[in-house]
């Protein structure tokens, strides 16, 4: 399994002959190395409905005939846009031909904003994502604050690689993300959701300095890890 970071919260997984994108916010993301008009994927996993996570999902999914996996309300909304979807809910898991997906809770919000009409649409509960394939488990926390049930997630899953937000303001900051790392007991942790906007500016190396030696890994856009 190859896992590549592409800026903000965008993660690509290559496993079992499939490409999976998590939260493909590309257009408007100055920190990504991807081009929304050319990126290829078979599956898109979404943590929640905010624009900096759903991003280019509709365009990418339609062009690739990709399956989009998301919370039930968000899946319905995207389905109305002509996207092929699979709806899930927190606590539920499903085994696909490319791996097992389970949604966890996240403490945040989730909505889609129509600026033209000043309308905000609820898109279900925000989630984290546990993804397992080839005997490896990855955890993408999505946007979340620190919550104590991360200990349960860590106790019940042998997490090889975790992606945790450190930007503060809307999510955990570095200090809380360091506590989350301890509770999740992940073998490796990559910081995400920082420096894309001025109000989430953080030093990822400071975050890594808070962790046990060898656990934290700072990845630039386009860099990856083999599991």
Tens digit of pLDDT for each residue in 65-107? Answer: 999 999 999 999 999 999 999 999 999 999 999 999 999 999 9
Q: How many domains, in total, are found in the chain? A: 1
In a domain, 223, yes or no: no
Domain CATH code at residue 7? 3.60.15.10
pTM of the complete model beyond 0.85: yes
pLDDT for 155-177, tens place per residue? 999 999 999 999 999 999 999 99
In a domain, 224, yes or no: no
User: Quick one: pLDDT band at residue 144, thresholds 50, 70, 90?
Assistant: very high
In a domain, 225, yes or no: no
In a domain, 114, yes or no: yes
In a domain, 227, yes or no: no
pLDDT at 96: 98
What's the token pair of residue 133? 């394939």
What's the token pair of residue 216? 């934290």
Could you give the C-alpha distances from 170 to 2, 31, 40, 130, 225, in angstroms and in order? 29, 18, 30, 21, 27
Alpha helices in the chain (DSSP H): 51-54, 57-64, 72-80, 150-156, 174-184, 204-209
Give the structural domain span for 47: 2-217
CA distance 46 to 48: 6
The single-letter DSSP state of residue 177 is H
């Amino acid at each position: 399994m190859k896992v590549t970071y592409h800026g903000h919260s965008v993660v690509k997984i290559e496993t079992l002959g499939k490409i999976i994108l998590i939260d493909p916010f590309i257009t408007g993301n100055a920190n990504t190395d991807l081009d929304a008009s050319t990126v290829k994927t078979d599956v898109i996993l979404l943590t929640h409905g905010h624009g900096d996570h759903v991003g280019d999902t509709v365009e990418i999914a339609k062009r690739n005939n990709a399956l989009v996996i998301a919370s039930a309300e968000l899946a319905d909304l995207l389905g109305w846009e002509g996207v092929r979807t699979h709806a899930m809910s927190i606590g539920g898991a499903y085994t696909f031909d490319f791996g097992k997906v389970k949604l966890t809770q996240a403490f945040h919000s989730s909505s889609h904003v129509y600026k033209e009409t000043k309308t905000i649409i609820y898109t279900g509960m925000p989630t984290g994502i546990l993804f397992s394939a080839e005997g490896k488990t990855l955890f993408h926390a999505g946007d979340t604050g620190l919550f104590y049930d991360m200990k349960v997630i860590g106790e019940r899953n042998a997490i090889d690689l975790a992606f945790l937000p450190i930007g503060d303001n809307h999510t955990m900051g570095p200090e809380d993300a360091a506590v989350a790392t301890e509770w999740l007991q992940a073998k490796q942790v990559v910081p995400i959701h920082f420096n894309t906007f001025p109000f989430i500016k953080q030093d990822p190396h400071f975050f890594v300095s808070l962790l046990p030696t060898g656990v934290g890994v700072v990845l630039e856009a386009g860099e990856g890890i083999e599991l």
